Structure 1
Amino acid sequence: IQQPVALETFIVRFGLDSTAPPTLPSETPSTIAQFRKASPYKPHNKRFFSIQHSIVKILSPICSWLLSSLTTMARLALMLAFLAVSLNHALLTVSRPAGIKETKSLARRYSGKGTWFIPDTGACGDTNSKSDYIVAMNYAQYNNGSPCHKVVVIKNKANNKVVKAKVTDECPGCPYGSLDLSPAAFKALGNLDTGVLPISWDWA
């Protein structure tokens, strides 16, 4: 049978005495010590920290290796991408300009017949002589005088001789691609007695 507790003891134990500081049973040192002893989550559990250290020790090199492998693969991928872009740029730089230049060259070259005439005051307003290196442009390409005073490079396709001459006149009877040359320009390509030469030409 539990013994009766004296009133003074009850008052002091449960903090009802105004002269003594109140202390709850759950906050007493003995109670806290018992809780720590009974709790499975001990803050200083040596076995727990030993296991944790072992796990970290095992996983650390694995994580380092994975990061290193990923870094190496990423660098390799970047290098391959850079090489692909550089190779593509080099191919475009080397091949494209050559193709464009060849296309323009083919588009600018014309072929026709080369004849000769005695120069006088031409359609471009110039007065020339036999000794001047000038040509009369065919009607289709004269285009109301747009090529006046421009220089053409004429080649005799029979002997590959070349001469430069300035456009100063129009040849209404010449077909497209053909030129009428001064005697001096014609003789630079062939004999006047020939009368007609197979020519090709483009703008200088």
Structure 2
Amino acid sequence: MTSRIVSFIAWLCLLAALCMTVVASPVPIDAANSTVTHTEEGRDLEKRVTRTGRATWFHAGLGNCGRRHTDSAPVVAMGKAFYDRNKGSNCGQWVEIINAKTRKKAYGQVWDSCPSCSDSQLDLSPSLFRQFATLEQGVFTAEWHFMAKGWNP
């Protein structure tokens, strides 16, 4: 009788170990059909990344977000491909911009896209650009990241 109990307990332990192995096994994800990176949460996580790239200036006007601004507004145009991937969800969102050399900091609001800019580059309205460099200088290296939606300076 004792050997039957020992055998039964051994089988139960084996069965429990197999169940735990199955539960702990990773589940393969078909990357082509995965939508995780396309969720709003995925975009929000991406926005916390600090990027470094060229900052240039442009004359503000009617932006890709559908609003008209003057050169005195703190307007930011982000790379067109980046804008398109986010389906314009960054419109109206504030960006913290830091001059990588001088460490001067200012905030601008995304209201446009920049066709010639990469994902890490920004185009700034003249008044915002002047907070970092002269218009004659024309370019500086910027570190930047999106602020949380709803944030205001």
Query: As a proportion of its length, which structure holds more strand?
Result: 2
> Which residue identity is paired with 1:108?
V
SS state at 1:145 partner: coil
SS state at 1:113 partner: strand
Give the CA deviation at 1:176.
1.8
Matches within 5 A, 1:51-66: none
1:97-132 deviations in Å (ceiling 9; x for gaps) = xxxxxxx89x61011100000011000011000100
Question: Which blocks of at least 5 consecutive residues in structure 2 are unaligned?
Answer: 1-44, 148-153
4+ runs of 1 displaced by more than 3 Å? none
> Which residue identity is paired with 1:191?
T
SS state at 2:136 partner: helix
User: Which one has a bigger Cα radius of gyration?
Assistant: 1
Among 115, 123, 129, the residue aligned to 1:186: 129
Instruction: Quote the Cα distance in structure 2 between the aligned partners of 1:150 and 1:175.
Output: 18
SS state at 1:108 partner: coil
Greater RCO, 1 or 2 (C-alpha within 8 Å, sep 6+): 2
> Which residue identity is paired with 1:115?
T
- Matching of residue 120 in structure 1 with residue 49 in structure 2: no
* Aligned position for 1:7: none
Instruction: Quote the Cα distance in structure 1 between the aligned partners of 2:146 and 2:104.
Output: 16
Query: As a proportion of its length, which structure holds more helix?
Result: 1
Instruction: Quote the Cα distance in structure 2 between the aligned partners of 1:141 and 1:151.
Output: 16
Question: Which blocks of at least 5 consecutive residues in structure 1 are unaligned?
Answer: 1-103
Instruction: Quote the Cα distance in structure 2 between the aligned partners of 1:185 and 1:173.
Output: 19
Share of identical aligned residues, percent?
A: 35
Normalising to structure 1: TM-score of the pair?
0.47
Q: How many residues align?
A: 101
Give the CA deviation at 1:140.
2.6
Matches within 5 A, 1:130-169: 130-143=71-84, 144-169=87-112
SS state at 2:127 partner: helix
> Which residue identity is paired with 1:109?
T
